[in-house]
């Protein structure tokens, strides 16, 4: 009985330590993601849908233009530039999302801003 109890406690701890070591080894930079990957497309769709709920807008997701992930400790930070339709015009938006991977917390939209189109209030997006 003691051996089973120990393995029940030790196994999750070993998994957490391995994940933390893997994530800490990956610290220090952003990594590009494949824009045709269905997960990346779902991230872009999520960002637009969450923005629509918060801002009460009706943007229509078109595609992800640029995408990066930056692991930091137990959190994955995603930076996406999405192309979305607003009424009759198309715009680029810089979005930031984050997901805590250790505790399986839900994905959160932390920022959604229109890219620079000559308006000084908009953020600059490097589309190259």
The domains found in the chain, sorted by start residue, are 28-114 (3.10.450.10)
Phi, psi of 98 (to 5 degrees): -145, 150
Taking the complete model, does pTM exceed 0.75, yes or no? no
Report the pLDDT value the prediction gives residue 27, as an integer from 0 to 100.
54
Report the pLDDT value the prediction gives residue 73, as an integer from 0 to 100.
81
- Spatial neighbors of 125 by CB under 8 A, at least 6 apart, are 66, 81, 92, 94, 115, 116
* pLDDT tens by residue, 48-69: 999 999 999 999 999 999 889 8
Mean of the per-residue pLDDT values of the chain = 80
């Amino acid at each position: 009985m003691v051996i089973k109890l120990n393995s029940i406690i030790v196994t999750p701890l070993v998994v957490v330590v391995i994940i933390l070591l893997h994530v800490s080894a990956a610290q220090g930079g952003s990594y590009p993601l494949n824009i045709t990957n269905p997960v990346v497309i779902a991230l872009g769709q999520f960002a637009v849908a969450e923005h629509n709920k918060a801002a009460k807008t009706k943007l229509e997701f078109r595609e992800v233009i640029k995408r990066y992930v930056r692991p930091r400790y137990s959190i994955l930070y995603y930076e996406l530039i999405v192309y979305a339709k607003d009424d009759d015009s198309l715009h680029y938006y810089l979005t930031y999302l984050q997901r805590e991977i250790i505790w399986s917390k839900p994905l959160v939209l932390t920022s959604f801003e229109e890219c620079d189109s000559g308006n000084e209030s908009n953020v600059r997006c490097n589309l190259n």
